[in-house]
Structure 1
Amino acid sequence: MANQTPKPDNRLDNVEKLQEMVQNTIENIEEAQESMAFSSPDQREKIKAKNHRREESIESLRQEIRDESEARENGYQ
């Protein structure tokens, strides 16, 4: 069996990755809102619910960005 050592935890670009995830989610919300003009009432409700979940996800990601930024400033200790 091959030597399987875990990869070291590299958190150096976590903030940037999280920020990109937030931006992508915002774009998805905007695209979904635009599509609502062409959707049935049932589809519109589903889109609203999904966008609500996306907004909650954005808040969680932003909290994680704050945590990672703080950890970066403190040298990841």
Structure 2
Amino acid sequence: MSKPDNRKDNVAHLQKSVQDTIENYREANDYLNEFGDEISASEKQQILDKNERREKSIRGFREEIKDEASHQSGE
């Protein structure tokens, strides 16, 4: 039997995802700042591309948080 849809902790999960993604973003920037001159151009570009995807994910997570919060307040 499947579990019922429990959305009560969705906001907390999404906020954790935002925090984790921001931490990874910052770590990648720190890495680039420290070792950017020592790594290949392709590796540097891969890190920049990944951080761009992280920025998009963070925006998406924040939109989901707004949606979930409004859904929970409307119950």
TM-score by length of 2: 0.89
1:42 Cα deviation after fit: 1.6
Q: Report how many residues are paired.
A: 71
In structure 1, the residue matched to 2:18 is 22
Amino acid at match of 1:63: E
1:40 Cα deviation after fit: 2.4
In structure 1, the residue matched to 2:57 is 57
Moved over 3 A (4+): none
Can you give the 5+ residue segments of structure 1 that lack an aligned partner in the other structure? none
In structure 1, the residue matched to 2:69 is 69
Aligned-residue identity in percent: 46
Can you give the 5+ residue segments of structure 2 that lack an aligned partner in the other structure? none
The 5-angstrom pairing of residues 2-17 of structure 1 reads: 5-17=1-13
TM-score by length of 1: 0.87
The CA RMSD over aligned residues, in Å, is 0.9
Which is higher, the Rg of structure 1 or of structure 2? 1
